[in-house]
Structure 1
Amino acid sequence: MRTFIGIDLGSTTTKAVVVDEHRNIIGRGITNSRSNYDTAAAVAKTEALLNGRFYLFRQALARNGALNGSLDVFLEQLERDFRAEQYTEQLGDLHETCVRNLATARFGAATEVVGDALEEVFRRLKLEAPSLFAPGAKRKSDFFRDIAGSQYLAIGEQVAKDANTRYDYLLNLFDRSIIEVENRVYNDSIRKHLIHALDKTFLALPDTAQRRTLVEEPIKGVLDTEMEETYIVGSGYGRARLPFSKEHIRSEILCHGLGAHVMYPGTATVLDIGGQDTKAIQVDPAGIVESFQMNDRCAAGCGRYLGYIADEMNMGLHELGPMAMQSTKAIRINSTCTVFAGAELRDRLALGDKREDIMAGLHRAIILRAMSILARSGGIRDQFTFTGGVAKNEAAVKALKELVFENYGQLQLNIDPDSIYTGALGAATFAYRAVVDEGKTAEHREDKKEKVAA
């Protein structure tokens, strides 16, 4: 089957969306952006195509009716089992890389003790791995670096203490090794992991195993279906570093405007708050950009700012919104400058202000900054679509709704659960149009790449 792929390489995360010949979104993928942008793009694309396989699994199993009443349970278990297989492979890779880096480390007489401690850390990590993907397990992140990192650091500290060796030696090995591991694309093992995961899923769901033949046949049929990467368009903060020809690059403004239009055809104004910038975009009824404004080079009021606050509070980024929603008192935050955020936060705490009230004030300050950018772009028109990672933050959404109503009255505010993929969706739509509307082909793309390289 032909697929059309959009990649949005952001400063914090890289997203990919895959659409089919009917412009249905069949897959989405996300990874943390790296210094190696080629790898970030490849990983996000691989994740989106994998997600597309699960979409096709669902369609095939729904058609044959083998899992009527238990389709969702089966696919959720299959994905957990697959992720556990994938995590185990990466964990083994990290283990081997740490051992290799230990051989060149300068730990002197402590090397042997550190080596023994390292083996103990990975023994415990492998024992704990299945519980991370058990039903109901909660993880702060789905990125390998974050999951493995939090487990490694917690276990490593205790193991170093028990072994009477320096914890920073173990930390040094992790820091050197994780960069190598996260910059690898594990594309070739996906089919193998899916087959192994399928066996595990049948063991975990005995009632499903009774229908194994009826279930396996459509799944293996999907695995045998080639997902042709017909055309790819890249966009985003790091688009200049994407390994594509110029013809395959679109500005993030154009992609966010079109992506918002695809999700909500009535969109007139778009606000995107990403990791590094805030964009206010006005689009016409066809999704074509009429005007836009962006923040200056300062990251104040963007996702990076919230990330800094989370670090200062020793919290996960996803915990800030729920905490702010518990606020009972309005607090005005004077500065959204990332540099001074920590100082003002500590000053507020010293004055006796509650953390939840401070968080609510910070979220309102961020949205106030966005409102000024919106005003410069031409104001807010109905319908108004909010996109980007910050759109998943309930406190930011609450502040935005209040300020929009205060300044513009009652408008329709659109927020899609997958709004973080808006730019990638716009890019995928451009890819679809390039082939279907303009008649371009994959060969045409390769010719252009060769010319650019020459």
Structure 2
Amino acid sequence: MRCFIGIDLGSTTTKAVVLDEDQNIIGRGITNSRSNYDTAATIAKQEALLNGRFHLFRQALGRTHALNGGLDAFINQLERDFRAEQYLEQLVDLEETCQRSLATAHFGAATAAVGETLTEVFRRLKAEAPALFAPGAKRKSDFFRDIAGSQYLAIGETVSKEAGTRYDYLLNLFDRSIIDVENRVYADSIRRHLLSALERTFVELPETQSKRAGIEAPIKGVLDTEMEETYVVGTGYGRARLPFSKEHVRSEILCHGLGAHVMYPGTATVLDIGGQDTKAIQVDPAGIVESFQMNDRCAAGCGRYLGYIADEMNMGLHELGPMAMQSTKTIRINSTCTVFAGAELRDRLSLGDKREDIMAGLHRAIILRAMSILARSGGIRNQFTFTGGVAKNEAAVKALKDLVAENYGELQLNIDPDSIYTGALGGATFAYRAVVEEGKTAEARETK
């Protein structure tokens, strides 16, 4: 089947979207952006195509009616089992890489003891891995570096104390090894892991054993279906580093404007707040950009600003919004500079202001800065679509709704749960149009 792919290489995360020949979204993928942008683009695309496979599994099994109401449970278990297989492969790779790093480390007489400690750490990591992917398991992240890192640090500290070895040696080995592992692409093992996961799922859902023949055939049929990368369009903060010819690259503004239009055809104004920048875009009824404004190089008003504040507060980024929602008092944050905002935060704490009130003030400051960018782009018109990673922050959304109502009255505010993929969706739509409407072929794509 022909697939049309958009890749958005952001400063924090890289996203990919796959469209089918009917312009339906069949797959989405996301990974950490990294110094090796080529790898980030490849992994995000691979994740989107894999997500597309699961979409096709669901469709194929749904047509057979073999599972009689158990389709969601089966697909969800199959995906968990696949992720567990994938995670274990990466753990083995990380252990081998750490052992190679140990061989070149300068730990002196402690080297042998550190090696034994390292072996025990990974033994426990592997033993605990299945629980991370059990039904109902809570993970703060789906990225290997985050999952393995938090587990490695916690288990490593415990094992180091038990063994009487230095914990900082284990940290050194992890830091030297993790980048190599997260920058590797495991495309060749996907089919093997899917088949292995299928066997595990049959064991974990014994009620499916009697329906095995009706399940295996459509799944293997999907596995044998080639997902042809017909045309790929790249965009995003790091688009200049994408391994595409210029013909396959579009600006962030064009992709976010078109992506928002595809999500909500009535969109007139788009606000995108990502990790590195804030974009205010005005589009016409066809999704064509009429005007736009972006923030300057300062990180204030972007996701990086929130990341800095989270570090200052020794909190997780995901905790800021819920804390701000508990606010009962309005606090005005005067500084729009990220560094000075940190200083003001500390001053406020020293004066006895509550953390939740300070957090609410910081979120309002971010949105006020975005509102000034929107005003310079032409204001806010109905319908107004909010996209980007910050659109998932409930306190930022509340501040935006309040300020829009104060300044523009009641407007329709669109926020899609998958709005972080807006730029990639725009790219995929450009890819579809390039082939279907303009008659281009994938031959125009060349690696730089």
Question: Residue type matched to 2:76 in 1?
Answer: E
Residue of structure 1 in register with 2:123 after alignment: 123
Q: Flag the 1:108–1:341 CA change in 2: closer, same or farther, 3 A.
A: farther
Q: Deviations over 1:200-220 (max 9, x none)?
A: 111111112221111111111
2:303 paired with 1:303: yes
Residue of structure 1 in register with 2:112 after alignment: 112
Residue of structure 2 in register with 1:284 after alignment: 284
* SS of the residue 1:344 aligns to: helix
Identity fraction in percent = 85
1:182-221 to structure 2, matched below 5 A, reads 182-221=182-221
* Structure 1 Cα separation of the partners of residues 315 and 136 of structure 2: 21
Is 110-119 or 267-276 further displaced after alignment? 110-119
Residue of structure 2 in register with 1:437 after alignment: 437
- Matched-pair contact (CA < 8 Å) for 1:301–1:369: yes
* Structure 1 Cα separation of the partners of residues 65 and 92 of structure 2: 38
- Matched-pair contact (CA < 8 Å) for 1:273–1:387: yes
1:344 Cα shift? 2.1
Is 374-383 or 114-123 further displaced after alignment? 114-123
Q: Deviations over 1:352-401 (max 9, x none)?
A: 22221111111111111100000000000000000000001111111100
2:146 paired with 1:146: yes
Question: Residue type matched to 2:333 in 1?
Answer: I
* Structure 2 Cα separation of the partners of residues 306 and 124 of structure 1: 34
Structure 1 portions without partners, runs of 5+: none
Residue of structure 2 in register with 1:14 after alignment: 14
Q: Deviations over 1:388-445 (max 9, x none)?
A: 00001111111100000000000000000000000000000000000000000112x1
1:47-446 to structure 2, matched below 5 A, reads 47-443=47-443, 445-446=444-445
* Structure 2 Cα separation of the partners of residues 22 and 275 of structure 1: 32
2:44 paired with 1:44: yes
* Structure 2 Cα separation of the partners of residues 367 and 209 of structure 1: 54
Is 18-27 or 359-368 further displaced after alignment? 359-368
1:336 Cα shift? 3.3
* Structure 1 Cα separation of the partners of residues 92 and 157 of structure 2: 20
Is 51-60 or 208-217 further displaced after alignment? 208-217
Is 301-310 or 430-439 further displaced after alignment? 301-310
* SS of the residue 1:282 aligns to: strand
* Structure 2 Cα separation of the partners of residues 131 and 223 of structure 1: 27
Question: Residue type matched to 1:188 in 2?
Answer: D
1:317 Cα shift? 1.4
* Structure 1 Cα separation of the partners of residues 7 and 279 of structure 2: 18
* Structure 2 Cα separation of the partners of residues 76 and 194 of structure 1: 13
* Structure 2 Cα separation of the partners of residues 386 and 353 of structure 1: 30
Q: Deviations over 1:81-118 (max 9, x none)?
A: 11111100001100000000100001111111111111
1:313 Cα shift? 2.1
- Matched-pair contact (CA < 8 Å) for 2:61–2:67: yes
* SS of the residue 2:416 aligns to: coil
* SS of the residue 1:129 aligns to: helix
* Structure 1 Cα separation of the partners of residues 128 and 357 of structure 2: 37
Considering only aligned residues, what root-mean-square deviation do their CA atoms show, in Å? 1.0
* Structure 1 Cα separation of the partners of residues 39 and 112 of structure 2: 34
Q: Deviations over 1:237-281 (max 9, x none)?
A: 000000000000000000000000000000000000000000000
* Structure 1 Cα separation of the partners of residues 250 and 383 of structure 2: 24
- Matched-pair contact (CA < 8 Å) for 1:140–1:316: no
- Matched-pair contact (CA < 8 Å) for 2:11–2:33: yes
- Matched-pair contact (CA < 8 Å) for 1:336–1:362: no
Question: Residue type matched to 2:138 in 1?
Answer: K
Question: Residue type matched to 2:232 in 1?
Answer: I
Q: Deviations over 1:48-93 (max 9, x none)?
A: 0000001001110111101121111111111111111110000110
- Matched-pair contact (CA < 8 Å) for 1:271–1:280: yes
- Matched-pair contact (CA < 8 Å) for 2:114–2:170: yes
- Matched-pair contact (CA < 8 Å) for 1:113–1:165: yes
| TM-score when normalising by structure 1 | 0.97
* SS of the residue 1:210 aligns to: helix
- Matched-pair contact (CA < 8 Å) for 2:363–2:399: yes
1:345 Cα shift? 2.0
1:332 Cα shift? 1.3
Q: Flag the 1:209–1:316 CA change in 2: closer, same or farther, 3 A.
A: farther
Structure 2 portions without partners, runs of 5+: none
Question: Residue type matched to 1:128 in 2?
Answer: E
- Matched-pair contact (CA < 8 Å) for 1:18–1:28: yes
- Matched-pair contact (CA < 8 Å) for 1:202–1:209: yes
* Structure 2 Cα separation of the partners of residues 352 and 204 of structure 1: 53
- Matched-pair contact (CA < 8 Å) for 2:333–2:341: no
Question: Residue type matched to 2:397 in 1?
Answer: V
* SS of the residue 1:305 aligns to: helix
- Matched-pair contact (CA < 8 Å) for 1:239–1:249: yes
- Matched-pair contact (CA < 8 Å) for 2:14–2:31: yes
Q: How many residues align?
A: 448
| TM-score when normalising by structure 2 | 0.98
